Amino acid sequence: MAVASRAITLRSHLAGRWVEGGDPQTLVNPATEEPLAQAGSAGLDLAAALDFARRTGGPALRALTFAERGQLLRAMADTLQAHRDELLDLAVRNGGNTRSDAKFDVDGATFTLSAYAEIGKGLGAVRFLVDGEGIPLARSPRFHGQHLMVPRQGVAVQVNAFNFPAWGLAEKAAVALLAGMPVLSKPGTSSAMVAHRIVEILAEKQVLPAGAFSLLVGGAGDLLEHLGPQDVVAFTGSSETGARVRGLPQVIRNSVRVNVEADSLNAAVLGPDADPASETYDFFLKDVLRDITQKAGQKCTAIRRVMVPAHVADRVRDDLAERLRAVTVGNPAHEGVRMGPVATAGQLEDVRKGIDLLARDGRLVYGDADAKPVGAPPGKGFFVGPVLLEVEAGADAPSVHSHEVFGPVATIVPYEGPAEVVELVTRGRGGLVSSVYSEDAAFTTEVVMGLAPFHGRIFLGSAKIAEMSPGPGTVLPLLVHGGPGRAGGGEELGGLRGLAFYLQRVALEGSRPMIERIATRLR
């Protein structure tokens, strides 16, 4: 694609300076296909970039206490907040986000940085964490054991998907930096302008010590081939890429820690007690509607399977279809548009193919793969309207439980009782989050216990929290994010829990006075 003259070149920030890579890809506005920027990474010396981060950023961060690192995160949050409008505009242009989608990403980044800044403040003036109580190892209390958690001395390589360029960068970086590890962040290329601008701003203001934060824009190249035994990789993206990362010879040989956040067929279960006149029913519909349309369904946590008691399936279908009818699809720069395009031409093709696949197991009840977008140039943009499908029996619909359509698409699946709904949801082979909308404690307990081993998070939808809840699709910094099986097997965030990935747990075994002296000297 020809790049317009005003399209900018995004450079990477490696080894403390801005560098331009070769073989650039063009980044476009997904609503208009206007070229906005180009980014390439060919020829960049990624081994040297990692080495610089290890030698420069690592020691600088480890010299600080948790409270001081928390102050860095606070400064990052404040800096992002000061540039909020500019970042929102970029997210609208390069991400196809509505302004509300853009806030979800950018404000989510600031919120997560602030949450970890507070955690750092709470941990105080220490450079390592004591893990649990001391353990007497013999009859005499002198022979003693104590676990400590200390920062790893490598680089935290963080590879993100295209859908959350701000939040993805910030949620991973907040935890690693607080733990004392330097970060090399690689955003998804198609939407990298927001991540790039964030790093540009942070570098201009010199918010972080040299080497503490590096940015690679463009393809990953040979980055992961240079990982050493103290490095870690936090990856977010598709299951296929996650599996490839995990299987890299260098990763296996050096026992590099890998955290994978992959895809998920998140389910929302409507309880049999939530009749259509109830507040819980209304809350459920709102959450499903939000997840289909927010970010055009490009959220790893979005509800894909709408599990409803068989006797209300028709009612849920009609009510959802009616609400979807009110959603205006188009160029998010245009007033009144509630849902923008998907991110790329490839993404659009995948979504269309996915809808065809799901429709083979059931039928399409609302929408179609072609949208009539408002405010987009004729024939341009990667638009698909919201789509609702239904199946007659979840047990006869294999694709619904195995294929993630990363777009504004959900399928209604009827069920008869708690045992059946648990069996159907767990066909998804592990998920990030599922939700149960019910006021019936017996039903909810049975479903929660059935789903818990297969999920990282379970959202309990009730009218009692409707006012304050952002719904199951929002990842909160104090709760874990991740899930077993197809969701990647990873775990991020969760307040203090997230730090463990970037810290080495070590057991000290010896005389109690010596262990206590060491602990005091290390503070």
Contact residues toward ligand NAP (CB under 6 A) are 159-163, 186, 188-189, 219-220, 224, 236-238, 241, 244-245, 261-263, 300, 404, 406, 432, 488
Instruction: CB nearer to ligand NAP: give 24 or 237.
Output: 237
Rounded Cα distance between 296 and 360, Å, is: 22
Non-local CB neighbours of 251 within 8 Å, separated by 6+ positions: 224, 227, 233, 245, 258
Rounded Cα distance between 313 and 180, Å, is: 51
Instruction: CB nearer to ligand NAP: give 291 or 404.
Output: 404
Q: How far is the CB of 163 from ligand NAP (least distance, A)?
A: 5
Burial category of 457 from C-beta neighbours within 10 Å (exposed 0-12, middle 13-18, buried 19 and up): buried
Asked if residue 265 lies in contact with residue 297, where contact means CB atoms within 8 angstroms, the answer is no
Which residue out of 34, 225, 240, 261 is catalytically annotated?
261
Instruction: CB nearer to ligand NAP: give 182 or 488.
Output: 488
Q: How far is the CB of 229 from ligand NAP (least distance, A)?
A: 19
Which residue out of 34, 171, 300, 404 is catalytically annotated?
300
Instruction: Determine the Cα angle at 247 with ends 245 and 250, to 5°.
Output: 85
Note if 516 is an active site residue: no
Q: How far is the CB of 77 from ligand NAP (least distance, A)?
A: 21
Residue 271 phi, psi dihedral angles, 5° rounding: -70, 155
Per DSSP, the three-state class of 514 is helix
Note if 300 is an active site residue: yes
- Amino acid at residue number 210: A
Q: How far is the CB of 476 from ligand NAP (least distance, A)?
A: 13
Q: How far is the CB of 392 from ligand NAP (least distance, A)?
A: 27
Instruction: CB nearer to ligand NAP: give 108 or 120.
Output: 108
Give buried/exposed letters for 227-247 (b at 16+ CB in 10 A, else e). beebbbbbbbbebebbeebbe
Asked if residue 211 lies in contact with residue 153, where contact means CB atoms within 8 angstroms, the answer is no
Asked if residue 212 lies in contact with residue 176, where contact means CB atoms within 8 angstroms, the answer is no
Instruction: CB nearer to ligand NAP: give 238 or 504.
Output: 238
Non-local CB neighbours of 153 within 8 Å, separated by 6+ positions: 54, 58, 62, 230
Q: Calculate the CA 430 to chain-centre distance.
A: 16
Q: How far is the CB of 156 from ligand NAP (least distance, A)?
A: 15
What radius of gyration, in Å, describes the C-alpha atoms of the chain?
24
Classify residue 54 by its DSSP letter: I
Q: How far is the CB of 235 from ligand NAP (least distance, A)?
A: 7
| Nearest one of 411, 401, 320 to 364, comparing CA atoms | 411
Rounded Cα distance between 409 and 388, Å, is: 6
Nearest 10 degrees: Cα torsion 506, 509, 514, 520: 30
Instruction: CB nearer to ligand NAP: give 375 or 484.
Output: 484
Instruction: CB nearer to ligand NAP: give 31 or 161.
Output: 161
Catalytic residues: 261, 300
